[in-house]
């Protein structure tokens, strides 16, 4: 463990963080596949580049840096410890005599009288004071703020807190999403982009959802009335809006999105319920030539793309699809297999016909039309809302906050306080006394020079 290793680890973390900034994190796998191709997709995926800050090697770098800072601090702490916690600090008069920063004046009184006057004055300014006789008089040695030498170690400790907080959050925290229809209860969420289910220790019920709009029809505010239920009993109720989450047992529940879904209406109002379409018309537009082709298909039936480009098949219909954590409404999921390429997953939202233009490729695909399949009449003529929630947990956040507070304290000690030592030597010179004031500090030398001058002026006035 050494300072050199600390520098290497810091540079490694900085370099990998740049990679994590350039390459978007936690995107849909299909997005990465389109952007980087098969080879680099597999390579980056194996190296966990797409979720770098949760990767084992990034966590290892953080852990190594934390251990290295701790070991280096402990290794250098012993010398500082002996300086700070010594009962009788060493005093070398000859070293103070060699200092260039000194003030000198002559007092008409004898040294015995000056000792009785000077000692109480110096004791009020410094925490430790000692008088020692010399061959020609006496000297007063004083010092204060020895403990400020720990300032740099306080900064080191704050960095350790910050690193540990980030490591704890990376290992034991999570971020997920869930949609709750009005009046329903959930006790689990889906982790972002992984599809894994995270069970909660409690249940969340959406009692009600309300939304207000501006005059132009855009949403102004949406509010969810949530109840936290534990062991069958409500323990917490709160209305949440964007940027005003519900917090319970270290878990944060944010208002993220909303949507509409079928809702029961009063009897005697009956409509035809609509399910996944029976027939779908697909647009294929070649980017280079602008030529448009249309093909009719159904879910699960492959179609040939004109001009021999390849094949396309719709594999799934989603009533409420998500992209980058946001609900984008109804959508189809298809597989595009180019003639000389690998299969690519394609998302086709019904409300965003130009969505596929973001994908790199020669052909843009979209849904032109769909013929709905009608079922038997049901009592369902209206809409009700569901609330989309972002649920996060970061058990290391308070460790990080502690690190920030400790860092502020450490920086204040390091930059604004110093270990100060003072020596006032009184030398008999006939019937008078020659007074020499010197001092030193481990930091802020100019400030110590000014302090020596002020002390000398005050002693001369006593």
d(CA 322, CA 331): 9
Query: What is the reported pLDDT for 413?
Result: 93
pTM, whole model, 2 decimals? 0.61
Query: What is the reported pLDDT for 372?
Result: 53
Q: Which residues contact 292 (CB under 8 A, 6 or more apart)?
A: 283, 284, 285
Q: For 29-55, what is the mean pLDDT?
A: 83
- Quick count: other Cβ atoms within 10 Å of Cβ 221? 12
The CB-side HSE value for 177 (13 A sphere, CA atoms) comes to 19
Closest CA to 317 of 359, 278, 356, 283: 278
Beta sheet of 279-286, edge-to-edge order = 292-297, 279-286, 363-371
Which percentage of the chain shows pLDDT scores above 70?
91
Query: What is the reported pLDDT for 36?
Result: 84
d(CA 406, CA 368): 60
User: For residues 128 and 447, is the Cβ–Cβ distance under 8 A?
Assistant: no
Burial 293-319 (b: 16+ CB within 10 A, else e): eebebebeeebebeeebbebbbeebbe
The residue among 326 and 138 whose pLDDT is bigger is 138
Q: Which residue in this structure is represented by tokens 């006035």?
A: 461
Q: Residue 271 pLDDT more than 50?
A: no
- Distance in Å from the first CA to the final CA of the chain: 54
Closest CA to 417 of 386, 447, 372: 447
In 173-235, which residue ranges form alpha helices assigned H by DSSP?
A: none
- Compute and round to an integer the Cα radius of gyration of the chain: 37
pLDDT-based confidence at 70, cuts 50/70/90? confident
Query: What is the reported pLDDT for 122?
Result: 93
Q: What is the mean pLDDT of the chain?
A: 84
Domains in the chain: ranges and CATH: 3-82+160-166 (no CATH), 88-145+418-461 (3.30.310.220), 174-269+382-393 (2.60.98), 276-372 (no CATH)
Query: What is the reported pLDDT for 252?
Result: 94
pLDDT-based confidence at 409, cuts 50/70/90? very high
Long-range CB pairs of 358-362, under 8 A, 24+ apart, other chains included: 359/34, 360/34, 360/35, 361/34, 361/287, 361/336, 362/286, 362/287, 362/288, 362/309
Query: What is the reported pLDDT for 247?
Result: 93
Query: What is the reported pLDDT for 202?
Result: 93
Q: For 35-41, what is the mean pLDDT?
A: 84
pLDDT-based confidence at 453, cuts 50/70/90? very high
The residue among 26 and 437 whose pLDDT is bigger is 437
d(CA 339, CA 360): 16
pLDDT-based confidence at 164, cuts 50/70/90? very high
The residue among 373 and 135 whose pLDDT is bigger is 135
The residue among 408 and 344 whose pLDDT is bigger is 408
pLDDT-based confidence at 331, cuts 50/70/90? confident
d(CA 313, CA 403): 53
Q: For 380-408, what is the mean pLDDT?
A: 85
Query: What is the reported pLDDT for 193?
Result: 62
404: helix, coil or strand? helix
d(CA 323, CA 306): 29
Q: For 170-178, what is the mean pLDDT?
A: 87
Burial degree of 165 (CB within 10 A; 0-12, 13-18, 19+): buried
Q: Residue 404 pLDDT more than 90?
A: yes
Query: What is the reported pLDDT for 371?
Result: 64
Backbone angles phi, psi at 189, to 5 degrees: -135, 165
64: helix, coil or strand? helix
Q: Residue 402 pLDDT more than 90?
A: yes
pLDDT-based confidence at 13, cuts 50/70/90? confident
Query: What is the reported pLDDT for 432?
Result: 86
d(CA 157, CA 69): 9
pLDDT-based confidence at 1, cuts 50/70/90? low
Q: Residue 278 pLDDT more than 80?
A: no
Closest CA to 47 of 84, 20, 69, 68: 20
Q: Is the dihedral of CA 23, 27, 31, 37 positive or negative?
A: positive
The pLDDT tens digits of the residues spanning 186-222 come to 999 988 766 678 899 999 999 999 888 777 667 788 8
- Quick count: other Cβ atoms within 10 Å of Cβ 260? 12
Query: What is the reported pLDDT for 3?
Result: 74
Query: What is the reported pLDDT for 72?
Result: 83
Residue ranges of E strands in 88-232? 102-107, 128-134, 137-144, 174-181, 185-191, 197-213, 219-230
User: For residues 320 and 181, is the Cβ–Cβ distance under 8 A?
Assistant: no
Q: Residue 298 pLDDT more than 60?
A: yes
């Amino acid at each position: 463990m050494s300072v050199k290793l600390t520098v290497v680890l810091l540079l490694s973390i900085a370099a990998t963080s740049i990679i994590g900034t350039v390459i978007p994190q936690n995107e849909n796998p299909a997005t990465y596949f389109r952007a980087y191709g098969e080879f680099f997709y597999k390579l980056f995926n194996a190296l966990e580049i797409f979720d770098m800050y949760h990767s084992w090697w990034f966590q290892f770098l953080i852990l190594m840096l934390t251990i290295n800072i701790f070991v280096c601090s402990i290794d250098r702490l012993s010398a500082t410890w002996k300086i700070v916690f010594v009962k009788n600090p060493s005093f070398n008069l000859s070293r103070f005599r060699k200092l260039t920063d000194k003030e000198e004046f002559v007092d008409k009184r004898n040294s015995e009288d000056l000792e009785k006057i000077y000692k109480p004055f110096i004791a009020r300014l410094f925490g430790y004071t000692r008088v020692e006789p010399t061959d020609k008089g006496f000297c007063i040695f004083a010092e204060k703020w020895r403990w400020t030498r720990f300032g740099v170690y306080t900064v080191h400790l704050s960095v350790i807190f910050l690193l540990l907080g980030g490591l704890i959050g990376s290992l034991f925290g999570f971020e997920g999403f869930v949609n709750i229809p009005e009046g329903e209860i959930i006790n689990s969420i889906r982790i972002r982009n992984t599809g894994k289910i995270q069970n909660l220790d409690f249940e969340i019920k959406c009692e009600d959802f309300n939304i207000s709009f501006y005059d132009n029809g855009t949403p102004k505010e949406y509010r969810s009335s949530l109840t936290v239920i534990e062991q069958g009993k409500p323990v917490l109720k709160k209305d949440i809006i964007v940027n005003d989450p519900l917090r319970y047992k270290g878990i944060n529940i944010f208002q993220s999105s909303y949507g509409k879904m079928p809702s029961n209406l009063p009897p005697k109002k009956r409509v035809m319920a609509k399910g996944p379409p029976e027939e779908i018309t697909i647009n294929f537009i070649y980017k280079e030539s602008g030529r448009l082709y249309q093909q009719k298909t159904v879910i699960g039936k492959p179609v040939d793309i004109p001009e021999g480009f390849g094949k396309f098949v719709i594999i799934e219909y989603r009533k409420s699809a998500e992209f980058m954590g946001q609900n984008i409404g109804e959508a189809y999921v298809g597989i595009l297999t180019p003639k000389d390429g690998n299969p690519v997953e394609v998302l086709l939202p019904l409300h965003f016909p130009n969505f596929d233009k973001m994908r790199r490729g020669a052909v843009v695909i979209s849904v032109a039309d769909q013929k709905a399949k009608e079922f038997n009449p049901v009592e369902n003529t209206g809409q009700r809302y569901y609330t989309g929630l972002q649920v996060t947990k970061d058990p290391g956040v308070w460790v990080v906050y502690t690190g920030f507070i400790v860092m502020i304290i450490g920086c204040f000690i390091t930059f604004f306080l110093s270990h100060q030592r003072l020596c006032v030597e009184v030398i008999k010179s006939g019937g008078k006394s020659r007074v020499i004031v010197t001092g030193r500090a481990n930091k802020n030398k100019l400030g110590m020079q000014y302090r020596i001058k002020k002390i000398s002026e005050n002693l001369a006035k006593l």
